[in-house]
Structure 1
Amino acid sequence: MRHSQLRAFDAVAREGSFSRAANLLNLSPPAVTIQVKSLEESYGLTLFIRSGGKAILTSDGQALYDKTRRFFIEEEEIQNYLSSSSALEKGHLKIAADGPHAALNIIAAFREKYPGIKLTVTLGNAETVRQDILAQRADVGITANCSESDRLVIDELSVQSMIALIHKDHPFAVRKMLSLSDLTGAPLILRERGSNTRRVFEKAVKELSLRYGNELELGSREAVREAVAVGLGIGFLFEHEVLGDDRTVAVPLKELANSNRDMVICLKSQLKRRVVEAFVSLARTFAGVKSHSRNISG
């Protein structure tokens, strides 16, 4: 067993792809493939299922990945301890975010303060971000309304309200406020299941015992904005996600004021890493709010 083999395996497991792992390690894809294949052959294990350009962990692979993540985190801590004067001058941080509105300003501030840290940012919905953190595919997440776990540190950064996005010629466009009950019978445009927007909306609808029909489901906030703009129905976004578009009007929803809480999240085990702690600390400061970490078993 060689360090280079474990490093290659860990990178492929983390990235879910041999080509992305090669880019992360500054190696060629064949070099990474050879390292992983040698590890598999040496111990008679199948660590990945290769499918459509993706590398999917087997049960043996997942068990080994849990160990290599701990190993390389400890290795990084040793390196930081032995060279504390150069800590945060170089390194790599992988960030998962459920949208650019809360993440990009913090990322820009982090890059300015720590220009030597390489940042990789992936975007997905809220559930994808949470799972990426739990599975250690990302080091830190910026997401919304994250459900608690005894493995996570969760810090609230800001609060937003949900709005109804309406075509400028719709009768509701002149309203100062809408109730969810006003929308019964109207064509609605919803985000995909797993998104925070969809989860918050459906929770409120269930609590009010309302029923809707004529729903169109779209997979991104950009698609929702454009669908509203061309008159396909009423969409739902959080206030910071609304862009200036003279084709649409944003109207607050009475029942969904302050319904979204932007958060920075990471694994408790990762917070002791200097680069993760630095990002979380900067996020708290940048948000300009008092931090309330929640280390609650769930």
Structure 2
Amino acid sequence: MRDADLSLPEVRAFNAVVSAGNFTRAAQQLGVSQPAVTAQMRKLEARFKGPLLERVSHGVRLTELGQRLYRITAQFAELDHNVRALIKPGSASSLEEIRLATASPLVFMPLIARFVREYPEVSLKLHTATTDECFKVLANREVDIGLFPMHWDDRQLSRLAYRDHHLVAILPSTHPLAGLSRLSLHQLQDESLIFSRRYSYTQQLLDRLIQQEGLALKSSIWIDSRTDICEAVAHGLGVGFAFKGDIPAQGEYAVVPIAEAAEAITEHVVWLKSRSDLPEVRCFVDLALRVLGESQASCLR
């Protein structure tokens, strides 16, 4: 980099282009002309030895250098948010958009829908991905809240336990094992199996259980979407696996607990500790706490 004295307009333009995805929407977001955004970006890129953005069919995307810079400059936007939060404590008036990433959309959709009802003027961006991918975009400040099973400790993150559920087997409703109250992985050795993508937490846990039991369970069918896995099971392609709360309630399939998966996994609402005072984080976490409180009160009646 030839000159480290970046200006605030350059940083704002860069952050806006990244979040908006193209120059036109970035200009609208900043309330300036597109040429003004382009000029700031040219000044910024002139300071670096390589490009920060590359043009693609749907807009622009960050280069590796741009990603490294954005992890730093994203904190400037947080400073603005934090200052507004101090000026108007407890106010959601500055909340315009919330970005969520979830590995468990069915589990968290009621909470997301509740948020939309309570904050109808707030724009919602929902990203669905694996647990590891959700963690990555949260750590990179590409989203405000992560909704996934956080099964490790991280001093940078705060988390709120939201729901427990277990790994289960999904079988065709006519399958001989479908009526069992519980089955063992050993009973599936001669079955056609359907696995989910390798890097999903579901598959990681299933692989560990298979290894612990000394089994050689394999699959020739790999499907990313849990909804699609359920459809494949319903059409007789094999036995699938998922966490219970991630399975649609109705379908031509049966859900049977797995004996070896006795330990429940916990779905969490997750956020960066450094961003706890941002309106989008504060409002969503407060809502999650209220929903949990209402649920506990209902169970005590």
Q: TM-score, normalised by structure 2?
A: 0.83
**Can you list the C-alpha shifts for 1:241-277, whole angstroms capped at 9, x where unaligned?**
2324452111111122343211111111111223202
Is it true that 1:175 corresponds to 2:208 in the alignment?
no
Counterpart CA distance in 1 for 2:261 and 2:240 is 14
- Report deviation, 1:140: 0.6
Indicate the residue corresponding to 2:162 in structure 1: 157
Q: Counterpart of 1:43 in 2: which secondary structure?
A: coil
Q: 5 Å matches for 1:22-37?
A: 22=26, 25=29, 34-35=38-39, 37=41
Out of 232, 235, 239, the position equivalent to 2:237 is 232
Is it true that 1:256 corresponds to 2:283 in the alignment?
no
- Report deviation, 1:173: 1.6
- Report deviation, 1:26: 7.3
Out of 53, 63, 78, the position equivalent to 1:57 is 63
Q: 1:33 to 1:185 in 2, by over 3 A?
A: farther
Counterpart CA distance in 2 for 1:205 and 1:23 is 53
Q: 5 Å matches for 1:1-298?
A: 3-14=8-19, 17-18=21-22, 22=26, 25=29, 34-35=38-39, 37-45=41-49, 46-51=51-56, 53=58, 54-59=60-65, 61-84=66-89, 86-88=91-93, 90-288=95-293
Q: Which consecutive unaligned segments of at least 5 residues does structure 2 have? A: 1-5, 297-301
**Can you list the C-alpha shifts for 1:147-189, whole angstroms capped at 9, x where unaligned?**
3322211222110012211112222122221011111121111
Q: 1:32 to 1:217 in 2, by over 3 A?
A: farther
- Report deviation, 1:104: 1.6
2:195–2:240 Cα contact (<8 Å) kept: yes
**Can you list the C-alpha shifts for 1:42-71, whole angstroms capped at 9, x where unaligned?**
424522244554512333x34432332111
Indicate the residue corresponding to 2:3 in structure 1: none
**Can you list the C-alpha shifts for 1:4-25, whole angstroms capped at 9, x where unaligned?**
432231133346x327964982
- Report deviation, 1:145: 3.7
Q: Which consecutive unaligned segments of at least 5 residues does structure 1 have? A: 291-298
Counterpart CA distance in 1 for 2:152 and 2:229 is 25
**Aligned residues, how many?**
288
Counterpart CA distance in 1 for 2:210 and 2:33 is 49
2:106–2:247 Cα contact (<8 Å) kept: no
